[in-house]
Structure 1
Amino acid sequence: MSAAPDVRLERVPVAVARALVDGSLVRPRTWHPEFPAGGTLSAARMLLGAYEALGRDPETSPWWFFAVVVDGRVVGDAGFHGPPPEDGPAEVEVGYQVAPALRGRGVATRACALLLEHAWRHGADVVRAEVEPDNPDGPASLAVLRANGFVRTPRGDLAVVAPGSAEPVTGAGVGGPT
């Protein structure tokens, strides 16, 4: 088996997200032919809407989304569903997708790991994810999450707590069966 490709995350400029959503984006040549996927558009729309509803500026927020880059080419996206609440534990939800041609090569697993590093660096206490039951790529997505330490919670999602946490966040249900 060959080594996983070098994966990095590059923040998607807010202007690019807005142009993607409003249909005015000129597709960059550095994007893989299978990117963006439909989920990219809906994620950008959701994220922009979340910031607008909160009256917060996404420009400087660490809780944004990123292009997944392999060999200088954008092959997917990964990011947060919005900023954490202003009070209580800093909980965020993540999502990711990779062009079908690059699946099964460790790209999504590495992108998820990079998102977690980013989350911990910016003060997240808990990172959550969901895999919809009707997702045809659900088993692969579950494998990505489990490889990054996520466990199934009693409320049905998957979560991982920040390294060095004294104990599982029982109120959030972390620590349930996988």
Structure 2
Amino acid sequence: MIERRIEHGHHPSWLVRLPPEPESCRTARQGLARFLRPLLPEPVVEDAVLVLHELVANGVDHAGTPMIVTARVRGDAVRLAVHDGSTVPGETRPHDPRAHRGRGLQLVGTISRRWGIYRHRTGKTTWAELGPDPDTPAQPAPAVPAQRTAHRFGARRADQENRNTSLPTGSRS
């Protein structure tokens, strides 16, 4: 596991590489909480930790590839992203009260201001934005080329600083 904090002007960022193992969920939760607690109010930190757990769990369960997890704080909001090596996008499932699993992305959509998935040549990135108003329903992201979205929120810069990562280059699906 490689973990690092990156400063981009006034927008602190956090990056960690994780293996596709169940323990990665706990590692991501603990690392994100350490990073965010000095920067954001506790309710935002708690929501972000929960959302990141769901995103990493999806990567472990469905992609089965190493992941690069990033978080970037801008003002009172945070953008989380999980990059994995699978091009198969996650999907929300219809609610089934008998099911013990399968509600992760519904939870992400309920808590996040916005979230989305975009594919690139080496996999996909699932991202979510959280801020002080988690009661606002998640809005679908506008159709923006992945490279522009990643650059706008600093993921591309974080990836460029860590040369062994993949850069998002495709369009969102």
- TM-score interval for Structure 1 and Structure 2 normalised by the shorter chain: 0.3 to 0.5
Which has the greater radius of gyration? 1
**Scaled by the length of structure 1, what TM-score is found?**
0.39
Larger proportion of strand: 2
